[in-house]
């Protein structure tokens, strides 16, 4: 089998953060010094795990109930579509999310922030996108939290997202932010992205159409994975 053309063009300049970003202190010893080597895309890069019906068990899309009780905080619904760069839905892809609780504390042994854990908030979910590439989950608005990057450093509220797409080449881990958060302009992680329009695309939109009256506020956030306008061609000759 011969795959004729590279399916994934390089990503738009300025839209991805550099590995070496002095404002993010822990990148100092964790970035390669040598430039990456070119890698022609073949089957190894153009294939990827299909989780839809085999791997990951049932969806977990209600983060507000855990261990027999209801989590504290502002309930929110987060929904959107996973698309490729040509605007086509990415169906059946696994999406994993995790976040701090309403007080800005993660359920993780390494989190030393002196804020209460919520016994009824685990802080993670998973789901597979539907035929329109859509995902949806119910959670609690995460709190901001301090970190030790610099004096008096606080991360803006965010939710972590992990996505696969169709190929090894499309793997993405990112963070979703909330509109109007005054910590965003001074957050080195978000500001590491050179293109300000690309930064803005990490911010969800408040969406009253998604909100559930008397119950939860709604936010919409679409995610775009790499993708070409063409399907890889096979030459079986």
Partner 1 sequence: MSRLIATSSQTIGPFFAVGLWRPEWSDLTRNGLDAGAPIRIEGSVIDGDGAGVPDALVEIWQADAHGRYEDHDAPVPPDRLFRGFGRCGTDADGRYAFRSILPGVVSDANGTPQAPHVNVTLFARGMLTRVVTRLYFADHAEQNAADPVLRSLPADARATLIAPRVDAGSQAVYRFDIVIQGDGETAFFDL
Residue ranges in 141-170 that form contacts with partner 1 under rule CB under 8 A: 160, 162, 166, 168-169
Under the binding rule (CB under 8 A), the answer on residue 92 touching partner 1 is yes
Under the binding rule (CB under 8 A), the answer on residue 226 touching partner 1 is yes
Residue 213 CB, nearest approach to partner 1 (Å): 30
Backbone φ, ψ for residue 153 (5° rounding): -85, 135
Residue 159: which of 172, 170, 173 has the closest Cα?
A: 173
Residue 126 CB, nearest approach to partner 1 (Å): 8
**Inter-residue contact 63 to 139 (CB < 8 Å):** yes
Under the binding rule (CB under 8 A), the answer on residue 233 touching partner 1 is no
- Of the residues 75, 105, 158, 166, only one is catalytic, namely 158
DSSP annotation of 63:
T
Q: Which is nearer to partner 1, 15 or 220 (CB)?
A: 15
Site for partner 1 in 17-56 (CB under 8 A): 17-19, 21, 24, 26-45, 47-50, 54-55
Residue 160 CB, nearest approach to partner 1 (Å): 6
Is 31 assigned a catalytic role? no
**Inter-residue contact 135 to 80 (CB < 8 Å):** yes
**Inter-residue contact 43 to 233 (CB < 8 Å):** no
Tokens 């791997």 — which residue? 55
Is 219 assigned a catalytic role? no
Residue 52 CB, nearest approach to partner 1 (Å): 8
Q: Which is nearer to partner 1, 54 or 151 (CB)?
A: 54
Distance separating alpha carbons of residues 150 and 36, to the nearest angstrom: 29
What is the length of the chain? 237
């Amino acid at each position: 089998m011969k795959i004729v053309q590279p399916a994934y063009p390089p990503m738009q300049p300025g839209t991805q953060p550099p590995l070496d970003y002095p404002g993010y202190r822990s990148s100092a010893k964790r970035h390669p010094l040598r430039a990456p080597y070119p890698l022609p895309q073949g089957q190894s890069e153009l294939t990827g795990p299909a989780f839809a019906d085999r791997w990951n068990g049932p969806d977990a899309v209600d983060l507000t109930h855990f261990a027999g009780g209801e989590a504290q905080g502002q309930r929110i619904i987060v929904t959107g579509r996973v698309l490729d760069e040509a605007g086509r839905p990415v169906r059946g892809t696994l999406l994993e999310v995790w976040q701090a609780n309403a007080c800005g504390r993660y359920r993780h042994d390494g989190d030393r922030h002196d804020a209460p854990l919520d016994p009824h908030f685990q802080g993670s979910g998973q789901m597979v996108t539907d035929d329109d590439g859509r995902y949806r989950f119910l959670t609690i608005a995460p709190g901001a939290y301090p970190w030790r990057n610099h004096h008096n450093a606080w991360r803006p509220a965010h939710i972590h997202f992990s996505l696969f797409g169709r190929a090894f080449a499309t793997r993405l881990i990112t963070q979703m932010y909330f509109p109007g958060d005054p910590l965003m302009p001074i957050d080195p992680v978000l500001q590491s992205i050179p293109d300000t329009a690309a930064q803005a695309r990490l911010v969800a939109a408040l969406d009253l159409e998604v909100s559930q009256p008397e119950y939860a506020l709604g936010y919409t956030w679409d995610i775009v994975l790499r993708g070409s306008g063409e399907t890889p061609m096979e030459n079986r000759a």
